[in-house]
Amino acid sequence: MALSLYDISIPPVIKGLRNLSAILERGRAHANEAGIAHATMLEARLFADMLPLTGQIQRASDTAKLMAVRIGGVANAPMADTETSFDALQKRIAATIAFLEAVPAQAVEGKEEAEVLLPAGSVQRTYSGRSYVLEFALPNFFFHVTTAYDLLRHNGVPVGKRNYLGWE
């Protein structure tokens, strides 16, 4: 049996969000144990022009939801990007997972060649469903998940590759 567009899009993103949730929880525990203000951890950046940890999680969430919206034609569940606490970020991750779990596989199946339009500043990029998932949505999602992981790791959170992969 061949892999379907649903199989290569929604389930891996749900797993990535679950792993992100676990890593974020380790970040909270580390901040508490080390006496680091939560705001310091949540607003951490790798460089001044990069989004902070909160923004990385928000973009991972948005990318995951918009993938389902763009290829599956499901209604979006807008989120306001106002999270400023570990609890609020965990709620956002949970809400994103719930949104994705509600996407029926049949909404995505057969959309491999469907046209997906992606606004990119003053231009619009055109993808097929397959190329959108493989060339934009998944790489963008994992970029933000990885950057969130890197921010936590850079700030002393004891996480490693096994945590990122969801093995611990």
Q: Could you report the per-residue pLDDT of 104-148, keeping only the tens digit for each?
A: 999 999 999 999 999 888 999 999 999 999 999 999 999 999 999
* The pLDDT value given to residue 1: 62
* The pLDDT value given to residue 134: 97
* The pLDDT value given to residue 120: 85
The encoded tokens of residue 146 equal 């990885």
Does the pLDDT of residue 151 top 80, yes or no?
Answer: yes
CATH dotted code for 5-164: 1.20.120.450
Is the CB of residue 120 less than 8 Å from the CB of residue 109?
no
Q: Give dist(CA 12, CA 139) in Å, integer.
A: 12
Q: Give dist(CA 151, CA 131) in Å, integer.
A: 29
* The pLDDT value given to residue 3: 86
Helices and strands, number each (H, E), in the chain = 8, 2
Is the CB of residue 108 less than 8 Å from the CB of residue 7?
no
* The pLDDT value given to residue 25: 98
Q: Give dist(CA 164, CA 22) in Å, integer.
A: 9
pTM, entire model: 0.96
* The pLDDT value given to residue 2: 81
